Amino acid sequence: MAFAEQDTLKSEIDEMVPDIVALRRDLHQHPELAFEEVRTAEIVAGRLRALGLEVQTGIAQTGVVGLLRGTAGEGGRTLAIRADMDALPIHELNEVDYRSTVDGKMHACGHDGHVSIALAVATLLSRHRDQLKGAVKFVFQPAEEVIGGAAPMVQAGVMQGVDGVIGLHLFSGHPVGRVGVRSGPIFAAADRLELHIKGKGGHAAMPEGAIDPVVTAAQIILALQTLISRETSPFERAVLTIASVHAGSAFNIIPEEVVLQGTLRTFDEGYRQRIIARLREMAQSIAAAHRATCEVEVADGCLACVNDPAMTEVVLRAAEAAAGPERVDSDERVMTTGSDDMAYFLHAVPGCYFIVGARNEAKGAVYPHHHPRFNIDEEALPVAVEVLTRAALDYLHP
Ligand SMILES: [Zn+2]
Ligand SMILES: [Zn+2]
């Protein structure tokens, strides 16, 4: 869909780039952890108010919502644009002049960019509100990194009256200038696993008098791998990692208990339920075969991010207009086994979560998310702003 007025978008965004970059760097220098995004929320609320939006603060502790009402006729739909605001408990190792000023805290996932992008979109769309029939609700959520901010915002009613939601993640695994948009699942469901294997402690030289939970745990760790390799179709996608093994206090003592921790990543809810049931069955029956017991806890995980086909079409058109059709990827490589609590907004209303490439070897922006040397190529910022803005103009076209 083409709008004569939109043809000025690229040049408008070009003029805004210094401010978009400056704000991103300011946020980068002042990272705030989950539910502590006080300064960030103040900046967000201040900017949204200055644009004349209706602003609500303190939602799910530090969340901010700004409503922009279009003036192109009565009625119309409401589109939510979501950005996450929190940083991570990581000590930054980058030597840039906008390095984190807080020891042990860092924007190592790109959420500083997300905030700056969404505020730039708010600025642009408020200038073009005469082209919007309906409203845009800007949703700035806290605490994505602990999967804690989105669900309480939804519970607080943020998605009431919203017809569609869009959002993006800058991605250091994808080349700058490219956009990844895909219908269906894009980020995985994440479940935290904890297994308590209980035996009977004793002398390491007299195992017959004990029930050794270490040998049992070893068998359980290996057997669980067959859930993916032997019970999962190669066309299904899943990861099961046991990442933490804790037991024992000395070389000559058989411990009472082994505690295993790990993560399960899946994309399909039915499959997820089946594999969790099989995981319990397998761990408990192997433990029983060795006279031990196994308690399996599956902590409340994050849902998968699943994109709605119609909303994906809107974003796809916007991405093609912004980046050029040859720079939009829709194949499986844009999927990630990472998780994101955008899933809760996507669960509430139809939406599309997409990725904007931020990787650039020449600039050293190559480290994975959550790495102490993570960085983005800031050339990604205007691309992201343009995709979101075009999607909103398209979705709310009079
Ligand atoms: Zn992250
Ligand atoms: Zn993130």
Q: Is 352 annotated as a binding residue?
A: no
DSSP 76: -
Q: Is 370 annotated as a binding residue?
A: yes
Centre of ligand 2 to C-alpha 95, Å, is 22
The SS3 assignment for 267 reads: coil
Region 159-186: mean pLDDT is: 97
Centre of ligand 2 to C-alpha 84, Å, is 8
Give backbone dihedrals phi and psi of 377, rounded to 5 degrees, phi first: -80, 120
Mutual orientation of helices 213-229 and 269-289 as an angle, nearest 10°? 150
Task: Note the pLDDT tens digit of each residue in 18-57.
Answer: 999 999 999 999 999 999 999 999 999 999 999 999 999 9
Q: Is 174 annotated as a binding residue?
A: no
Q: What does the pLDDT read at residue 224?
A: 98
Query: Which stretches of 17-163 are assigned E, i.e. beta strand?
Result: 54-59, 63-69, 77-84, 134-141
Centre of ligand 1 to C-alpha 324, Å, is 28
Cα(53)–Cα(126) distance, rounded to whole angstroms?
8
Q: Is 95 annotated as a binding residue?
A: no
Mean predicted lDDT score pLDDT of the chain: 96
Centre of ligand 1 to C-alpha 209, Å, is 47
Domains and CATH numbers, the chain: 6-188+304-396 (3.40.630.10), 189-302 (3.30.70.360)
Q: Are 165 and 138 in contact (CB under 8 A)?
A: no
Region 176-189: mean pLDDT is: 97
Please report which ligand is nearest the Cα atom of 342.
Answer: 2
Q: Are 120 and 16 in contact (CB under 8 A)?
A: yes
Least confident residue range of 3-7, 36-40, 58-62, 350-354: 3-7
Q: What does the pLDDT read at residue 3?
A: 52
Please report which ligand is nearest the Cα atom of 368.
Answer: 1
Cα(330)–Cα(323) distance, rounded to whole angstroms?
13
Cβ neighbours of 252 (radius 10 Å): 8
Q: Are 75 and 133 in contact (CB under 8 A)?
A: yes
Q: Which pair of structure tokens corresponds to residue 67? A: 């409503």
Centre of ligand 1 to C-alpha 109, Å, is 5
Cα(390)–Cα(289) distance, rounded to whole angstroms?
60
Q: Are 264 and 240 in contact (CB under 8 A)?
A: yes
Residue 2 has pLDDT above 80, yes or no: no
Rounded (10°) CA dihedral 160, 164, 169, 173? 140
Centre of ligand 2 to C-alpha 340, Å, is 7
Please report which ligand is nearest the Cα atom of 110.
Answer: 2
Q: Which pair of structure tokens corresponds to residue 370? A: 């959550």
Cα(308)–Cα(183) distance, rounded to whole angstroms?
6
Residue 134 has pLDDT above 60, yes or no: yes
Q: Is 203 annotated as a binding residue?
A: no
pTM of the model: 0.92
Q: Which pair of structure tokens corresponds to residue 160? A: 């009431």
Taking only Cα atoms into account, the Rg of the chain, rounded to an integer number of angstroms, comes to: 24
Task: Note the pLDDT tens digit of each residue in 247-304.
Answer: 999 999 999 999 999 999 999 999 999 999 999 999 999 999 999 999 999 997 899 9
Q: Are 48 and 66 in contact (CB under 8 A)?
A: yes
Q: What does the pLDDT read at residue 345?
A: 98
Q: Among all residues, which ones are annotated catalytic?
A: 86, 144
Using pLDDT thresholds of 50, 70 and 90, give the confidence band for residue 1: very low
Instruction: State what percent of residues in the chain have pLDDT above 90.
Output: 96
Task: Note the pLDDT tens digit of each residue in 234-251.
Answer: 999 999 999 999 999 999
Q: What does the pLDDT read at residue 301?
A: 83
Q: Are 246 and 194 in contact (CB under 8 A)?
A: no
392 closest CA partner among 134, 157, 14: 134
Task: Note the pLDDT tens digit of each residue in 6-28.
Answer: 479 999 999 999 999 999 999 99
Region 97-112: mean pLDDT is: 98
Please report which ligand is nearest the Cα atom of 167.
Answer: 2
Cα(245)–Cα(214) distance, rounded to whole angstroms?
10
Centre of ligand 2 to C-alpha 154, Å, is 18
Centre of ligand 2 to C-alpha 108, Å, is 8
Residue 162 has pLDDT above 60, yes or no: yes
